[in-house]
Chain A
Amino acid sequence: MPEEVSKGNGNNGKKGGLLGHIREDLESLKTDLPAKAKEQVEILSKPTKTQVYTSIFRHKHDDTPRNRALGVLSNVFLHLHPAKINRDAVRYSYTWGMGGITFYLFFVLTLTGVLLMFYYHPSKVQAFRDVLYLEHDVPYGKLLRNMHRWAAHLMVIAVELHMFRVFLTGSYKKPREFNWTVGVILLVLTLLLSFTGYLLPDDQLGFWAVTVGTNMARATPLLGHEGPFGAQLGMTPYNDVRFGLLGGSIVDANALLRSYIWHCIGIPIIASVFMIVHFWRVRKDGGISGPAPVVLDSEIKEAKK
């Protein structure tokens, strides 16, 4: 071997040394390749043991209580849930599932909304044509728009039913008072989201609905030019709260753009923040309120004042 090394270092031996190396490499491949291939097949035959898999999934999946808990706790999308809940809390008749359905509809609306944004220009020239284009030329465009519209209406209904259920089960009571007020804000944001979207097709329906809606802002006390004490405070159609909402004194191009930005960016971001707080508070306030054991009137201890 030292001979070969000295050859390899010498000028003349360069070519022969290289050949020697190649021969040696090929020899080793003959034995290493089958061995490594066999090893590889063995590794791949157990995909859950691979480094890629174990780096993604941090725990085993055989059906043990520990893994059931980890399945929820080690998943960022599911970790909003606790590992275990009251056995009766999964009953549909108690929660009606309306809060979750509302969130799911928000998700559907985000998805369909982003897809619609690819085909829509918020300008007076383009907007209506874009909707026609969506309806007639874009593959599944009509389905997309329909789904966005109906999911929006369904979300309003789901939010109202959710609030109704929370009221009827007294779930706003201590310690959940604050989360109820966050929920009221989310209800308002849902209505505003739907309302700002109404104008976007730029058709008669949306135009007049938004005209009727924003005309109310004229009458805002103090801040609207037709509202009580508005004129006395110097409000005109060109500087009052309605002007600020529409970006003009009539529903026109600026109103369309403002509507679009509030609808696609502004309100979704605000609503997301409130949703984060809402969901987080559900957990922090001790999970969903029930179904709790009934309490008798005689068991209430009056707090001393």
Chain B
Amino acid sequence: MDWKQLWEILSAPDNVPIIAMIPLLAFYIYLAWKQAHANDLLIAELAADPALAKTHHRKTWPFRPGWQKEVHVWPFLLRVEFLAAIIVTIILMVWSITLNAPLEEPANPNLTMNPAKAPWYFLGLQEMLVYFDPWIAGVVMPTLIIIGLMVIPYIDTNPLGAGYYTWKQRKFAIGTFLFGFVILWVSMIFIGTFIRGPGWQWFWPGQTWDHNRLIYEVNRDLPDIFGITSNFWKGIFGAIVVGGYFIVGGLIVNGLFRRSNPKDYKRMSLLQYSLMMTFFLIMVALPIKILIRLLFHIKYVWITPWFNI
């Protein structure tokens, strides 16, 4: 256990935000879960008792018939905002006094930093470079993430759960988002920051960063395993495998989705449904590609003269 190494990584000024982010995220997931749980209990209670559903104010917070439904922004909202501004200012002040922003040697194109890391919020994408070519990890994936996020409101046809925390009414949507945000985005940032060392090699926390370490890894391409040698057939084979993933995966997801969310299945138009399927399958393809790389040392699935996937 190399405590010095561990401390060096943890105390790097630019890594502090990530260390702060993890408990923050955990806290807010807890806060959301607590409210979602309470709402789900209330929903179950109201669903079981139609008479109560007619008279209940439908929130988990107390409300008596005589109370006003609205309050003045001045002062009831503004004091919260003012307090938040003061607290954030205090946090920033203390943080800025106690921790200095990093400043390394002057920029030197002849002296490569090892590891050379992107800013922390892009480390998830940099981590993807291990498993994908730069055009996918650096260009296509961010574009798909942005477009995928933008289409969410237009493909989520579930009218329930608008304006309150819930889990049971939106299991698929929330599960997918948690998977994308927490597993694919935040944990990849965590790996990129705290695990990846020189040469972008895997170093467990506390393991010494050995700049001379070499890993003898023989990565193969999927067509090689099947003994395909000609470039032409490699291209055809890859297209079949990738296409097959989308067809078979699509059929599986379709089967699961229309059984678990029959109402949404009925509500969605063909365009909504195919967009949802496409983005969902591409997202799930990420961990699959990571796994086949880690477990079977497979580098590319589809090899063509112009691009490799």
Contacts and interface: CB of A to CB of B under 8 A. Distances in A.
Interface of A: 65, 68-69, 71-72, 78, 81-94, 96-97, 100-101, 104-105, 108, 128, 131-132, 135, 142-143, 145-151, 153-154, 156-157, 160-161, 163-165, 167-174, 176-178, 180-181, 184, 187-188, 191, 194-195, 198, 201-209, 211-213, 215-221, 224, 226-229, 232, 250-252, 289-298, 300, 302-303
Interface in B136-194: 137-140, 146, 149-150, 152-154, 156, 158-166, 169-170, 173-174, 177, 181
B74 A71 contact: yes
A85 B73 contact: yes
A173 B99 CA distance: 41
Contacts of B120: 153
A4 B89 CA distance: 73
A78 B188 CA distance: 40
B84 interface: yes
Given A217-B139, A229-B306, A289-B163, A208 B116 contact: yes
Nearest to B57: A293
Contacts of B92: 108, 147, 150-151, 154
B28 interface: yes
19 contacts: A85-B77, A86-B70, A86-B71, A88-B59, A88-B61, A147-B93, A153-B14, A157-B20, A172-B152, A177-B153, A195-B122, A203-B106, A204-B111, A208-B113, A216-B137, A228-B135, A251-B109, A289-B162, A290-B163
Given A85-B77, A207-B109, A216 B139 contact: yes
Interface string B40-70: 0011001100000100011101000001111
B134 A215 contact: yes
A72 B75 CA distance: 9
Given A156-B121, A203-B106, A213-B122, A85 B70 contact: yes
A208 to B, nearest CB: 4
Interface stretch (B30-38, B203-211, B219-227, B285-293): B30-38
Given A145-B101, A180-B152, 4 more contacts: A157-B17, A195-B119, A292-B162, A294-B46
Contacts of B242: none
Given A173-B162, A292-B163, A298 B47 contact: yes
B25 interface: yes
Contacts of B137: 216
Given A146-B99, A195-B122, A291 B106 contact: no
A177 to B, nearest CB: 4
A204 B164 contact: no
Contacts, number: 297
A91 B53 CA distance: 24
B139 A227 contact: yes
B72 A68 contact: yes
Given A87-B68, A289-B162, A300-B159, A104 B84 contact: yes
B153 A172 contact: yes
B67 A87 contact: yes
Contacts of A149: 101
Interface string B229-249: 000000000000000000000
B159 A204 contact: no
Contact of A173 (B35, B153, B181): B153
B119 A209 contact: yes
Contacts of A72: 72-74, 78
Nearest to A145: B101
A296 to B, nearest CB: 5
B139 A169 contact: no
Contacts of A195: 119, 122
B101 A146 contact: yes
Given A195-B119, A229-B306, A93 B31 contact: yes
A157 B119 contact: no
Given A69-B72, A220-B135, A81 B77 contact: yes
B36 to A, nearest CB: 7
Closest 4 CB pairs of A and B: A216-B138, A292-B163, A290-B163, A293-B58
B118 A212 contact: yes
B242 to A, nearest CB: 14
A204 B118 contact: no
